[in-house]
Amino acid sequence: MHSDDGKNPKAAAQKGKRSIANDMAGKQQEISVTEFFEKNKHILGFDSRSKALLMGIKEAVDNSLDACEEAGVLPDISVSVERTDEEEEFRIVIEDNGPGIVHHMMPNVFGRLLFGSRFHAQRQSRGQQGIGISATVMYGNITTGKPAKIMSKVEEEETAWSMDITIDTKKNRPDVRNDQPFIWPEKEHGTRIEYYIRGRYVKGKQSVFEYLKNTAIVNPHAQLVYSDPEGKTYVFERATTRLPPKAKEVKPHIQGLEIGDMMRLARDSKQKTLKNFLKNDFSRISDRVANEILQLSQLNGDMRLSSLNRENVRDLVHAVSSVKIMAPPTDCLSPIGEDLIKKGLKHVLEGNRPEYYAPPVTRAPRVANGNPFVIEAGIVYGGELHSEGQVTILRFANRVPLLYQQGACAITKAVESIDWRKYGLEQRGGKGIPYGPAIIMIHIASTKVPFTSEGKEAVANLEEIGKEVALALRLCARSLKSHLNKKERKKKTRAKFDVVQQILPEIAEKSASMLGRPVPSLDSTITKIMNVVWIEPSSMMEKKGLRTVRYNIYNYTTSPKSFMLHSVLPKSCLNETIISDVLVEVTEEGKTTWKMEDLPPSACFELEFQLDGELSDVFGESDVFVSGLNPTMIMGAEPLPGDWGIKGMEISESENLPEEEEDEMEEEVLNDDD
């Protein structure tokens, strides 16, 4: 018997097609996640030699900071970068004093991608994906062929463990060698990773030094020691011994969820009915809110969750967008806080001696794609900051500096959207990054930061995030504008005062000489011309943690003046040294009031007090307010805002306002650019 395919061209062609399809099917195979990232290293941020060197260090330091904070340990982290004999090869060593890693988990932590404890956790952390440090080990294996050496000691164990790790990219499994215990006498607990990597060492904005300096700003509780390839050692000392509050795991927030997200959550839920699903699987959903959602969606709360279809979920998502739901809880986040933002900036930028730190702003929590987030902002201006070119933008996400892809980041786009000319900075065409001697700092804290890629270099341009960043920046910018206006007015008044003090005495002396009479006192004359109450602040650091603040208050008016002086002092620094005869009140929040009564014309009163504590240097002596006087008569201080302590002194307290009042405040700030 023989085939007649040769006589039947159509059958032969069909057989040929079947064989091609079968061949293609035979080539289909599962791809290991490690093998995928091995061939797409740029997705993880290893897309250039200089960047690869920094990214590996960044991932290791992030892990160390997370581990120390979870264990309640003040971080002490050392980073060493050494050149080897091979071209563009470096030996990197990062060591911390964290809790250590138990022996059997060490291979998985450092040698297996997508292995971690934080991906499913609904709380703030630096590491989110379980990729970072194992990707660093993988990249080092690929570029040098050398294993990573891991050493770790857990506090309750007598011995430490050491092992060499490479990654089997086909199986996404660690290959462990030289696994052995040893005695680590100088270490009670901690972890050390040593690896080799092909890279390029650079200086400047995207250098290891710059990354560690910026890390110190937003992690003032950490001490970082850096040894560079040139043999220089830099120490970024901790500015505070206060650990950030631990972020607690919470349930997801229902606002901003997409239809697919809601279907997945419903499918994975252990609840039986729709109403129980809403009440028990999401945060901030009370019985009343659940009923309102169900009423708007026209769904029965007793319906079986398993019978929920796509149309039901679509109606549910649309209903949620129309219901006012309380903002998410903040205990799942760990924002830096106004005091420590200022403390970190002052500690690291001390050598630049900026003239003004705008009071930092912490916004109320918001939701993007079901994930709570908080925006914090600060502006530093003047002094010895570089005045040529664009301002410096410091971007942070979950206390981690973002050094790459600035133009693609939602933070940068929010900066560019503001008309900075209204706030005293130069801006060509009224858009884009402004110019001038300033640093703009933005920090986003979230349970899941929406990065544009696994390299975690830029924040995705979500509308909710962009709006909050712009609002926070405008609030800081208003403080900057007020400072610049006050500075200009004070400069003009000072010039007038200097002229009066120089010319009038000369006229009086010559007139007295011509008339043969004694030179008259000019105090009352100068007072009539000036007609201001002049407040001159000054301060001096006596020693670390002890600061003396002084206000010289001059009455350059023709009548006695009574008024109140107000400021907000760091409550952790208050002691008996602030007590004085004119002190009226000190609240729990540190809001302090002094009363000046019947200060005579041409008289001067000296108000002096001391702040004792690690936050003593965050107090801005120029942040003083006056009530009881016509604002036009005040020089050197701002008039007290009508709502003392909310919209004036501490904008961040807006999160305690009813939503209607906060919306009014946001509208007011947004109208600044109209």
Angle at 420 between CA 414 and CA 423, to 5 degrees: 130
Average pLDDT over residues 605-632: 82
The rounded distance, in Å, linking the Cα atoms of 96 and 161 is 15
Asked if pLDDT for residue 607 goes beyond 50, the answer is yes
Angle at 546 between CA 237 and CA 620, to 5 degrees: 85
Looking at residue 672, what is its pLDDT? 58
The count of other CB atoms within 10 Å of the CB of residue 168 is 15
Average pLDDT over residues 412-432: 88
Instruction: Specify the number of domains making up the chain.
Output: 4
Residue 514 is assigned to a structural domain of this protein: no
On whether the CB atoms of residues 195 and 139 are closer than 8 A, the answer is: no
Average pLDDT over residues 25-42: 54
The rounded distance, in Å, linking the Cα atoms of 51 and 58 is 10
Residue 659 is assigned to a structural domain of this protein: no
Asked if pLDDT for residue 660 goes beyond 50, the answer is no
Average pLDDT over residues 16-29: 60
Q: Is the same domain home to 543 and 441?
A: no
Joined together, the tokens standing for residue 232 give 């220089």
Asked if pLDDT for residue 653 goes beyond 60, the answer is no
Where do the DSSP E strands lie in 365-464?
A: 366-368, 371-381, 392-397, 400-402, 438-446
Of 188-202, 230-244, 312-326, 480-494, the least confident: 480-494
Q: What is each CA distance from 211 to 54, 88, 119, 393, in whole angstroms? A: 8, 20, 24, 13
Structural domain span for residue 299: 259-320
Q: What is each CA distance from 66 to 165, 536, 569, 602, in whole angstroms? A: 22, 44, 31, 58
Q: Is the same domain home to 415 and 553?
A: no
Average pLDDT over residues 106-117: 72
Q: Is the same domain home to 64 and 143?
A: yes
Looking at residue 35, what is its pLDDT? 54
Joined together, the tokens standing for residue 370 give 């079901």
Looking at residue 472, what is its pLDDT? 94
On whether the CB atoms of residues 76 and 97 are closer than 8 A, the answer is: yes
On whether the CB atoms of residues 335 and 374 are closer than 8 A, the answer is: yes
Average pLDDT over residues 305-313: 88
Closest CA to 373 of 129, 651, 122: 122
Closest CA to 80 of 94, 96, 90: 94
Looking at residue 646, what is its pLDDT? 34
Domain boundary among 482, 502, 529: 482
On whether the CB atoms of residues 236 and 344 are closer than 8 A, the answer is: no
> What is the rounded radius of gyration, in angstroms, for the C-alpha atoms of the chain?
32
363 vs 31, higher pLDDT: 363
Residue 550 is assigned to a structural domain of this protein: yes
Residue 25 is assigned to a structural domain of this protein: no
CA torsion 213-218-222-224 (nearest 10°) is -10
Looking at residue 654, what is its pLDDT? 37
The count of other CB atoms within 10 Å of the CB of residue 449 is 22
Domain containing 633 — which CATH number?
Answer: 2.60.40.1170
Q: Is the same domain home to 264 and 232?
A: no
On whether the CB atoms of residues 434 and 420 are closer than 8 A, the answer is: yes
Average pLDDT over residues 323-348: 80
Q: Is the same domain home to 408 and 440?
A: yes
Q: Is the same domain home to 477 and 536?
A: no
Average pLDDT over residues 476-483: 89
DSSP 515-567: HT-PPPP-HHHHHHHH-EEEEEEEEEEEETTEEEEEEEEEEESSS-EEEEEEE
Q: At what angle do helices 208-218 and 338-348 cross, to 10 degrees?
A: 140
Looking at residue 539, what is its pLDDT? 81
Asked if pLDDT for residue 504 goes beyond 90, the answer is no
Domain containing 78 — which CATH number?
Answer: 3.30.565.10
Residue 654 is assigned to a structural domain of this protein: no
Domain containing 264 — which CATH number?
Answer: 1.10.8.50
Res. 13 pLDDT band, cuts 50 70 90: low
Please report which residue ranges of 321-444 form alpha helices under DSSP H: 338-348, 410-416
Residue 506 is assigned to a structural domain of this protein: no
Give residue-wise pLDDT tens across range 223-282: 999 999 999 999 998 888 888 887 777 777 787 778 888 888 888 888 889 989 998 888
DSSP 196-219: EEE-----STTSHHHHHHHHHHH-
On whether the CB atoms of residues 465 and 413 are closer than 8 A, the answer is: no
Looking at residue 491, what is its pLDDT? 81
Residue 515 is assigned to a structural domain of this protein: no
Asked if pLDDT for residue 409 goes beyond 90, the answer is yes
Give residue-wise pLDDT tens across range 508-535: 888 888 888 888 877 777 777 778 888 8
Domain containing 455 — which CATH number?
Answer: 3.30.230.10
Looking at residue 383, what is its pLDDT? 82
Mean pLDDT taken over the chain: 81
Q: Is the same domain home to 419 and 535?
A: no
Domain boundary among 433, 461, 482: 482
Residue 58 identity (one-letter amino acid): K
Q: Is the same domain home to 42 and 175?
A: yes
Q: Is the same domain home to 411 and 265?
A: no
Joined together, the tokens standing for residue 65 give 């900071």
Q: Is the same domain home to 165 and 209?
A: yes
Residue 497 is assigned to a structural domain of this protein: no
Residue carrying the six token digits 């901030």: 284
DSSP 355-369: SEEPPPEEPPPEEET
Q: Is the same domain home to 195 and 56?
A: yes
Q: Is the same domain home to 231 and 275?
A: no
